[in-house]
Structure 1
């Protein structure tokens, strides 16, 4: 299966970080891209402009991933503009960190709303919309295995994402739509660097055998594989972390 210009993708959280790299990578593969953003239309338009300048096709659309009406409007927009939806990559997420003993429950609820409910809302719409031969790709984290302190609420939310995604893969039997999870390790994004002193960043970067942080482009490569040629990979969690445990 080749990625022709007629194939289209929705990428949530595509205005920065991993989501932006995924949008740019899939556009380079010839896909028409809907660049979703939560709150910053200017950065989303930068992504669209970059894709367009490189000869690709892109549009932007805003909305809260946990709001079913906003996301229904987004899927309708993508269908209207592109004529259908072939791939959905749900890269939107938030990562406030605190020990379990001290995290306030308002922050906990916010993490679960965006990461769990948001993934469910987008996955539900994707399950109804993605055409045969397509793919649904959600995002987890290698922290579900690495068990790093202060990541409790975040890792908990991503464990739920994995469970949902792997069940959805089985529910879509006969639809010719693959459903997988990408679980990055520590990746050099603003979300990762926020609030971390340099010594902590250096320690985390040195924890895997490659002795560096991942880049958004590293994660985008795995995503592009699942979005395109990987038709026999289904119902899997792909740990993309340089060999971290």
Structure 2
């Protein structure tokens, strides 16, 4: 079974967890794409939900599929957020932000009663860090911020690019992709990064996911609950 089919199965499975009347966070990424399409079909069939998107890309897709959206400022909390991840460790700590939406993703996750991650089996790791850790930084003096991050033991830090130049996040910031290779203490690193002047947010999501729904190449889907 291809990766895309596995992602589709994870997205379809996650949609079964959404109940009528919920206000939900709608994540960003290739696996969530399938969740959004499945959710749209359910709303056509009569499911009543309201969504809060985690990125401009997600908002555009959801609106095109007639999923009702609301601003996070207009709700007290979210019942549930469904989102993807770039890496998931056995404690359900995550690296997120490969798509560039980590800041809004973390804000939405923090506003949610429950966060559920959907992914294919390739995202499961024993230790976080092989995937470059995205760190969102303000554009002013970003090289100084980069130097401070390097002092935490990261020697390879790349300013994210896109086809026509530097990648700019939805909120007008740069993203530094930091190659730590292995992060032995994710909670400590998260704190150290966010103490650096110029860092807006980082892609470590620690103790935020309650459950991970993982699809495998053999067609099976497995739930992992936070230990």
Instruction: Give your verdict on TM over 0.5.
Output: no
**What range is the shorter-chain TM-score in?**
0.3 to 0.5
RCO higher in structure (CA 8 A, sep ≥6): 2
